[in-house]
Structure 1
Amino acid sequence: MSLYFESLGQGPDLVLLHGWAMNGTVWQPVAEQLAEDYCVHVVDLPGHGKSPASGPLTLDAMVAAIDAAFPWPVQVIGWSLGGAVATRWALQHPAKVRSLTLVASSPCFMQRSDWPHAMATATLAQFAASLQADWRGTLKRFISLQAMGDAQARAVARTLADDLFLHGEPALGALAEGLGILRDTDLRADMARLDLPVLLQYGDRDTLTPVGAAHWLAGMLPLAQCVIHAGAAHAPFLSHRDDFLTIQRQFLAGV
């Protein structure tokens, strides 16, 4: 799979990975700030934005495309689905990922009998069904869920909606396969193998990735730094950008 990304700034290499149905433009305000000290690579995940999916979209296929695009060690920030991609990358190629920041992400996005810190099975199933009938409406509802409960909900939803199609309309097949990745991914058994600096940035009002997932990760990764942004939902890098950046800079500088 060919991978589209934009690079800005100079310094240590930092890769930013977005969430399902979005594209790299969602990171732009954060990327511009971090580019003062880093060479920031803002990626369109395979099947999203300007990165076509040349075959079936799987978590491993995404990792393979990103790993091929960056043949040198990097630090990585992954939001939501992008965090799962980043985690798998760090697990498969530990020499390539120098540090890992997970933003509102999860090792397991769908609830299971032993895992309440995720979306209900019915929620994901409803998205998958409605995607075929009305994909635009489905994406709008997903954006609303990402912003729901946030102290800056309207502003966050507007920003996400404005960025949604800036790199073109998403491929319906890739959207469906992406939901399948969210449904099937379960990295919980592998998390203890992560041997690198980890930063967790989450919102206490997130309904898609409940804060319990952050607390679980902090327990599994005792050396990880965990930050819970009060009043933030699923996109703390948008709603709490200044605090997010301050914490992110401190973490990256210490790696």
Structure 2
Amino acid sequence: MTLHVDRLGSGPDLVLLHGWALHGGAWSSVAARLAARFRLHVIDLPGHGHSRDLAFTDLDSLAAQVAPAVPEGSAVCGWSLGAHVAMRLAEVASLGIRALGLVASTPSFVTRDGWSPGIAPAVLEGFRRDLRRDRIATVRAFLQLNARGASGARACVRRLEALIGERPAASGAALAAGLDVLACTDLRTRSAALSQPALVIHGLRDELVPVEAGRLLAASLPNARFVGIDDAAHAPLVSHADALATALERLDG
């Protein structure tokens, strides 16, 4: 099986990467706007959506499977887990990634020594434990966290739940591996080497990845700008698609 990619629009190449448990369809509202400016490559990550039968074990193996679908010289925009993948792809010199969009992103999803703007490792471990017991309920709870704090949070949750049902559900193995990536990835010492122009875009009401994490990530990147979206939480691509698309239209300067 090969990685599923939806391609649309015309212009410079822009790859869109979704977050945990979702699929490329999560970008649909944003993609409808951006297709007038970019040639979009909207990917279902391994183990998710139409790429459900693919597997990964860590961030490196996840990025390695995505890389062949990324045209040389592309801009890459990732949301949440997808932002980790985007940053890993930006390290691959042969891809020549020209710009980065990092949405609801952080160098470290969990708190660590010297890093407080994250969730406690015990909270993420709770999700991993719950996932083994009841996958559907765990995904639903995570979707609620995505929307918590946003204006129109209930509508955002309903839309996220509807999106989940539009393509094959993420495999249990991919969900578990994705949580492992979120728990283990720490890009703090690597971000300074990412010289590409970058937009770090964050919902100012994000209760899953604190705004401070996004601001610190932007400060650590040599050529980044921070863009805050008022009233948005962790899923601005669903709750505030127009504002996010407007920000991404400036990805190439």
TM-score range, shorter chain: over 0.9
CA–CA distance in structure 1, aligned partners of residues 22 and 243 of structure 2: 23
CA–CA distance in structure 2, aligned partners of residues 54 and 32 of structure 1: 27
Summarize the alignment of residues 77-116 of structure 1 with structure 2, pairs less than 5 Å apart: 77-93=77-93, 95-116=95-116
Summarize the alignment of residues 1-255 of structure 1 with structure 2, pairs less than 5 Å apart: 2-52=2-52, 54-93=54-93, 95-252=95-252, 254=253
SS at match of 1:3: coil
C-alpha RMSD over aligned residues: 1.5
- Whether the 8 Å contact between 2:52 and 2:170 is mirrored in structure 1 is no
Q: CA deviation at 1:137?
A: 0.4
Structure 2 alignment gaps of length 5 or more: none
Q: Which one-letter code corresponds to 2:229 in the other structure?
A: H
CA–CA distance in structure 2, aligned partners of residues 149 and 141 of structure 1: 14
Q: CA deviation at 1:112?
A: 1.0
CA–CA distance in structure 1, aligned partners of residues 102 and 109 of structure 2: 13
- Whether the 8 Å contact between 1:2 and 1:46 is mirrored in structure 2 is no
TM-score, reference length from structure 1: 0.94
TM-score, reference length from structure 2: 0.95
SS at match of 2:106: coil
Structure 1 alignment gaps of length 5 or more: none
For each residue in 1:180-208, what CA deviation from the matched residue of structure 2 results, as whole angstroms up to 9, or x when unmatched?
Answer: 01000001100000111000110121121
- Whether the 8 Å contact between 2:5 and 2:69 is mirrored in structure 1 is no
- Whether the 8 Å contact between 1:2 and 1:52 is mirrored in structure 2 is no
- Whether the 8 Å contact between 1:46 and 1:65 is mirrored in structure 2 is yes
Q: Which one-letter code corresponds to 1:67 in the other structure?
A: A
CA–CA distance in structure 2, aligned partners of residues 52 and 241 of structure 1: 26
- Whether the 8 Å contact between 1:46 and 1:57 is mirrored in structure 2 is no
Identity %: 43
Q: CA deviation at 1:79?
A: 0.1
Q: Which one-letter code corresponds to 1:179 in the other structure?
A: L
Q: CA deviation at 1:94?
A: 6.4
Q: CA deviation at 1:90?
A: 0.1
Q: CA deviation at 1:57?
A: 2.5
